[in-house]
Amino acid sequence: MYQIKTIGVLTSGGDAPGMNAAVRAVTRAAIVNGMRVKAIYRGYKGLIDGEVEEFTTQDVSGIIQRGGTILKSARCEEFKTEEGRKKAYDTMQREQIDALIVIGGDGTFTGARLLAQEYNVTVIGVPATIDNDLWGTDSTIGYDTALNTIMDCVDKLRDTGTSHERVFVVEVMGRDAGFLTLNAAIASGAEAAMIPERKTVEEQIEEAIGQGRRKHKNSAILLVQEHSIEGGAQAVANIIEKSHPEYGTRVTILGHLQRGGTPTASDRILASRLGCHAVLALLDEQRSIMIGMQNGNIAYVPLTQSIKQKKDIGTDRWNALHMLSI
Ligand code: F6P
């Protein structure tokens, strides 16, 4: 196989806490193993526009604890076109980048896969998204930090919710997946988690605050995944206000604060391990794979599978929440 001398690294899609730790790991592991590293700014947009800079080990000093991404990120429509990917490939040729390590989520991997197919480029994916929606890895970089952020917010809302005996409807991110919402609900002792993977929202509302289940509680916190119902948390609040006008209902949309903040130890360690292994996978002549973490062990997962297979949320967490939220 063609020897890889220079690696390009980029972060793309929604930023996630721990992306910087992954950039640091890729950079240092590559240099330690005798490769050069070219950092690409603003994700695929920067690859198209040639925003490339060679990194030394010092360029990634002092970033392991920082949220966001020093490489910046973008959602790039142009890269979805053949012309866009051609320009990206031209930049790789010009900069003599032999392999790309892309740090991001589903959209990032979809783009990487197309580039790999069309130009026979070597790409490795490092899963980073707060949504935790990639198949083949137990956790994605940023997920644990976002989960903790949501839990902290809900703890604060609980104080005012119980004081005023109100129902708080809290909107949580997650794109098509309910991992953040369901696990944050368990961790914060919320009364319900409305997620796209489960029954209709109306049924869930009735279960959570309807007759029978509300015997001992005068307040409630319902977490609503942003896409579990059209209109999100506000739509749920409207339903509750109609069916249970006796409750004072308030809506909180957590929004992009869920993507910020200093990464947890878990995310830093995950990012460091995945980043190192992305480089080792290249030395191992791997291509078009995602580096995943399965039961604490590194796993090589075909990019196609990581994108196409739907990660199952299972039933035990759902059942636990229901048992515990009475
Ligand atoms: O994929 C991460 C994520 O934060 C999703 O949870 C959310 O639906 C989306 O990105 C928001 O995207 P944007 O920052 O482009 O509004």
pLDDT digits (tens, 9 = 90+) for 136-145: 999 999 999 9
Atom of ligand 1 nearest to the CA of 259: 4
Q: Is 11 in the pocket of ligand 1 (CB under 6 A)?
A: no
The whole-angstrom separation of Cα 116 and Cα 221 is 45
Ligand 1 atom nearest to CA at 258: 4
Statement: residue 273 has pLDDT above 50: yes
In this model, does residue 88 exceed pLDDT 50?
yes
Which residue from 114, 100, 110, 141 is spatially nearest to 286, judged by alpha carbons? 100
With contact defined as beta carbons under 8 Å apart, do 22 and 274 qualify?
A: yes
- Of 98, 113, 91, 93, which is closest to residue 2 (Cα–Cα)? 98
Structure confidence at residue 218 as a pLDDT band (50, 70, 90): confident
Ligand 1 center from residue 184 Cα (angstroms): 17
Reported confidence tier of residue 272, pLDDT bands at 50, 70, 90: very high
What is the average pLDDT value for the chain, to the nearest integer?
95
CA of 224 to the centre of ligand 1 (A): 15
Of the candidates 301, 270, 147, 165, the one whose C-alpha atom is nearest the C-alpha of residue 220 is 165
Measured between alpha carbons, how far is 226 from 230 in angstroms, rounded to an integer?
Answer: 8
Contact 7/282 with Cβ under 8 angstroms? yes
CA distances to 21, 71, 180, 184, 279 from 268, rounded to whole Å, are 6, 17, 18, 20, 17
pLDDT value, residue 204: 79
Burial of 211 (0-12, 13-18, 19+ CB in 10 A): exposed
Residue 36's identity, in one-letter code, is R
Instruction: Tell me the best of 175, 183, 223 to mutate to test the pocket of ligand 1, counting ligand atoms within 8 Å of each CB and taking the most.
Output: 175
Cross-strand pairs, 11: 103
Q: What is the rounded end-to-end Cα distance, in angstroms, of the chain?
A: 60
Ligand 1 pocket mutation, candidates 131, 141, 257, criterion most atoms within 8 A of CB = 131
Catalytic (active site) residue 144: no
Query: Which numbered atom of ligand 1 lies nearest the CA of 75?
Result: 15
Is 105's C-beta closer than 6 angstroms to any atom of ligand 1? yes
Give nearest CA residue, ligand 1 atom 15. Answer: 14
Choosing from 15, 106, 131, 144, the catalytic residue is 131
Chain centroid offset of residue 22 CA: 13
Burial class (CB in 10 A: 0-12, 13-18, 19+), 210: middle
Residue 212 pLDDT: 45
Q: Pairing state of beta strands 99-104 and 122-127?
A: parallel
Q: Whose CA is nearest to atom 8 of ligand 1?
A: 175
Residue identifier of the C-alpha nearest atom 7 of ligand 1: 175
14 C-beta closer than 6 A to ligand 1 = yes
Residue 131, ligand 1, Cβ within 6 A: yes
Ligand 1 mean position, distance from CA 130 (Å): 9
Displacement of CA 5 from its chain's centroid (Å):
30
- How does pLDDT run across 300-316, given as a tens digit for each residue? 999 999 999 999 999 99
What's the gap in Å between 91 CA and the centre of ligand 1?
A: 28
- Report the predicted TM-score, pTM, of the whole model to 2 decimal places: 0.97
For residue range 123-138, what is the model confidence (pLDDT) as tens digits? 999 999 999 999 999 9
Q: Which atom of ligand 1 is nearest to the CA of 133?
A: 1
What's the CA gap between 140 and 131, in Å, rounded? 8
Q: To which H or E segment does residue 46 belong?
A: helix 43-49
Measured CA to CA, the distance from residue 201 to residue 229 in angstroms comes to 7
> Residue 41 pLDDT > 70, yes or no?
yes
Greater confidence, 303 or 325? Answer: 303
- In degrees and rounded to multiples of 5, residue 228 shows phi and psi of -80, -20
CB of residue 125 inside a 6 A radius of ligand 1: no
Residues 169-204 have pLDDT tens digits of 999 999 999 999 999 999 999 999 999 998 778 887
Asked whether residue 232 carries a pLDDT value surpassing 70, the answer given is: yes
Q: How far is CA 35 from CA 5, 27, 125, in A?
A: 5, 9, 18
Task: Measure 133 CA to ligand 1 centroid, in angstroms.
Answer: 12
Beta strands in 105-227 (DSSP E): 122-127, 166-172, 192-194, 220-225
Find the 266 Cα to ligand 1 centroid distance in Å.
22
Per-residue pLDDT band for 46 (boundaries 50, 70, 90) equals very high
pLDDT of residue 217: 75
